[in-house]
Amino acid sequence: MEPSPKDGESAAAAEPSRGSAPSSGVVVQVREKKGPLRAAIPYMPFPVAVICLFLNTFVPGLGTFVSAFTVLCGARTDLPDRHMCCVFWLNIAAALIQILTAIVMVGWIMSIFWGMDMVILASKY
């Protein structure tokens, strides 16, 4: 006679697995590939990132425009091989895209997500 499972245990947990492959110790690493505009988002101090998120929420592109100037003040980005002025203009281009496409709501949504990415990067900073 087999022992019955204790309270809180299922019958499947009580019997050994039959026919299932043992789990192997494979480590999988996932790395996000960022495009040049997304990689140009600067790592700012947390309060500045929150202000940029607030600005992007109410005036699409304004927070992104402000964040472009933090690059000129020495904020780090994920584009270390590009010159500071190039990264500045990439952020200005992102702000213009957000402003111009805000009419059809795409830019406004993009602007909010851009601001959230700024806050996420700032929390890692």
pLDDT digits (tens, 9 = 90+) for 63-122: 999 999 999 998 899 888 888 899 999 999 999 999 999 999 999 999 999 999 999 999
89 burial (CB, 10 Å; 0-12 / 13-18 / 19+) is middle
Q: DSSP letter at 36?
A: H
Which helix (DSSP H) or strand (DSSP E) does residue 9 occupy?
A: none
pLDDT higher than 90, residue 16: no
Task: Name residue 118's amino acid.
Answer: M
pTM of the complete model: 0.71
